[in-house]
Structure 1
Amino acid sequence: MTSASLQGLRVLVTRPADRAETLCRLLASHGAEVVHLPMQAIEPVRQSAAAARALQQGRDALAWIFTSVNAVRYARRLDAGVWPTCIAVGPATAAALAQAGITDVRLPADRHDSEGVLALPELAEVQGRSVLIITGEGGREAIQGGLVARGAQVVRVEVYRRVFLPHAPETLARALAGIDAAIVTNGEALQQLIERAPADLRNPLRAVQLVVPSQRVVEQALELGFTRIPLVPEQITDTGYLHRLERWWATMRRMTNDR
């Protein structure tokens, strides 16, 4: 299904290549001019054997908490067995668990972030219980800290890592020229984007409308000098990003027509 709801919008997508194709096609099908500039590639951790052992030893845990789609994908490569109750931080992660054949999945009802996970009733009474957090290198530790404070025995299992991709200055300049909005799906990519942008394009970049996955990245963007308050989709899915951009772009069009 196609529409012109994003006609005239030039939008940058910084997702890694293996997760960007569907989102880019979706935006383009609604009229956007999409520029894909991945800032990162996703790879297995170097110590994958140790991660596999941790998963094997964690089968009796109260729950496994997955912080991203990549956490599910890379954990499944390491362990194809039966998993205990799994908790997904958001709908896309829950969908990845379903695709991996996991049926016992919990998902926060309202907030799809660390605070939402910690509010789940399954994690209210965890004194002395084992909980695995399956994530990537360098991820947030808010969930771990919250569970430790409740007395849980937390094992953090890092199954993937982000590798920053080098881009020539002219490649960055072409990608950033004339963009109206940018979808940036983690704080590290945002930091790299602003640091690597050519000096004469940094202020124009700070003026574009960002769409980001969490309030934490909103705060990071403002600290980096972005002048528009970034938008956060109601659902952190491809469709969620599309709908949030559609609402913003419709507002921008109305404002332009009213002048």
Structure 2
Amino acid sequence: MQFINTRPADRAQALTECLVRSGIQVVDLPLLELKAFPYTEKLQQLYAQLLETQIIVVVSPTAVNIGMQYLQQSGVLQSQLDHIQWIAVGQTTAQSLEIYGIQSLIPAVESSEGMLSLPIFQDLPHLKKIAFWRGEGGRQFMMQHCLDHHIEVLNFLLYERYCPESTEAKFSQLVATFSKNPQIYWMCVSSEASWKNWLSLCREHPCLLQSCHYLVLGERLYQVLQHDKNNAQYHFKLSKILNLQPNTVLEKIAELQREL
């Protein structure tokens, strides 16, 4: 059995090690690379508004690290944000916040829908201003939901996301291996951006695309893949997962194999 680990290079190790210990061969193929945007006057103005903000949503460990670095640069003291409720998209992001002494709420499902299901969002009339520490292209659904409920959104674009240059060469190796030995691969899909990059890579290799069982994070992303599958008449399997913790991924694979 082989698993394609598409996580960014700095987040892939824990999952790879967990799977390898369980006898699963892992192909490292990062579909996203993250690079900080420069600190700008616009970001300076956004940081100043955090003093009047009720919630900060942090979408990744990268957003934590860049966001806290720029917070220091802004001149706003972390102690001035004690009134804020922090929300982390998942356990790893929450652990990154804990390094800075910040406790955060964590959703059961590590997705926008999961965060919106937190009790704090059930009392929307009392929410006036919310900040998002995020990367380019991320959390559009959640931000739009807040805007639709007349909540002011502070959009902190902290980093860009793109497919690494080295991935194309790694993908060519994967295609060569697959051509010699066709098999079923397992893969996590954690964002629409990474899924689009995978579709682009597989444009001329539909057999490989359809030889994967996709473990999809959250209902909304699951529906994106289901739509693309139906629209292009692909034949691949997909299943939902609640989070990207290595044990969760491993247990889901084991569960699905028992059902075969």
TM-score (norm 1): 0.81
Tell me the equivalent position of 1:215. Answer: 219
C-alpha deviation, 1:181, in angstroms:
1.2
CA distance, structure 2, for counterparts of residue 152 and residue 168 of structure 1: 39
Contact 1:14–1:38 (CA under 8 A) maintained in structure 2: yes
Tell me the equivalent position of 2:88. Answer: 88
- Aligned match for 1:16, one of 8, 16, 30: 8
Contact 2:215–2:240 (CA under 8 A) maintained in structure 1: yes
Structure 1, gaps ≥5 residues long? 1-8, 253-259
Closer, same or farther: CA 120–39 of 1 in aligned 2, 3 Å: closer
Structure 2, gaps ≥5 residues long? 73-77
Contact 1:232–1:244 (CA under 8 A) maintained in structure 2: no
Corresponding letter in the other structure for 1:228: F
CA distance, structure 2, for counterparts of residue 228 and residue 197 of structure 1: 13
Corresponding letter in the other structure for 1:147: C
- Higher helix proportion (structure 1 or 2): 2
Describe the SS at the equivalent of 1:117: helix
- Aligned match for 2:252, one of 230, 233, 244: 244
Tell me the equivalent position of 1:120. Answer: 118
Corresponding letter in the other structure for 2:202: A
Which 4+ stretches in 1 moved above 6 angstroms?
Answer: none
Closer, same or farther: CA 173–49 of 1 in aligned 2, 3 Å: same
- 1:56-81 superposed Cα distances (whole Å, 9 cap, x missing partner): 43133111112233322321222253
CA distance, structure 2, for counterparts of residue 125 and residue 211 of structure 1: 32
- Aligned match for 1:27, one of 7, 10, 19: 19
CA distance, structure 2, for counterparts of residue 233 and residue 203 of structure 1: 24
- 1:172-219 superposed Cα distances (whole Å, 9 cap, x missing partner): 1322424521223222122212222362x3223223101122223222
Closer, same or farther: CA 77–212 of 1 in aligned 2, 3 Å: farther
Corresponding letter in the other structure for 1:156: N
Residue 98 of structure 1 pairs with residue 103 of structure 2:
no
State which drifts further: 140-149 or 24-33.
140-149
CA distance, structure 1, for counterparts of residue 218 and residue 242 of structure 2: 10
Count the aligned residue pairs: 241
Contact 2:134–2:158 (CA under 8 A) maintained in structure 1: yes
CA distance, structure 2, for counterparts of residue 120 and residue 31 of structure 1: 37
- 1:220-239 superposed Cα distances (whole Å, 9 cap, x missing partner): 22333352342222333222
Describe the SS at the equivalent of 1:79: helix
Describe the SS at the equivalent of 2:217: coil
Closer, same or farther: CA 98–165 of 1 in aligned 2, 3 Å: same
